[in-house]
Amino acid sequence: MKAVELRELTADELVQREMELKRKLFNLRFQRASGELDNSAELTKTRKDIARVMTIISERTLGASDS
């Protein structure tokens, strides 16, 4: 998921995407703990996607308060 794609989403869609990614990360961690995780790189990718979403949300929040 690229930042350009995320910037096209509305604020509600970004919050929804963040919740979905956090739920996915929880499930991946659970799979890792139980030994069922096939691709450990998916953990890193999901964490970075969450960071991208949170960055865009904070950019919008700071941009709205500056204006």
**Stated pTM of the model:** 0.89
Summarised one tens digit per residue, pLDDT across range 5-17 is 999 999 999 999 9
pLDDT category at 19 given cuts 50, 70, 90 is: very high
In this model, does residue 29 exceed pLDDT 70?
Answer: yes
Domains and CATH numbers, the chain: 3-66 (1.10.287.310)
Mean pLDDT, residues 24-47 taken together: 96
Q: Does residue 50 contact residue 21 with C-beta atoms inside 8 Å?
A: yes
- Measured CA to CA, the distance from residue 31 to residue 63 in angstroms comes to 38
Position 67 pLDDT exceeds 70: no
Could you tell me what percent of the chain has a pLDDT over 90?
88
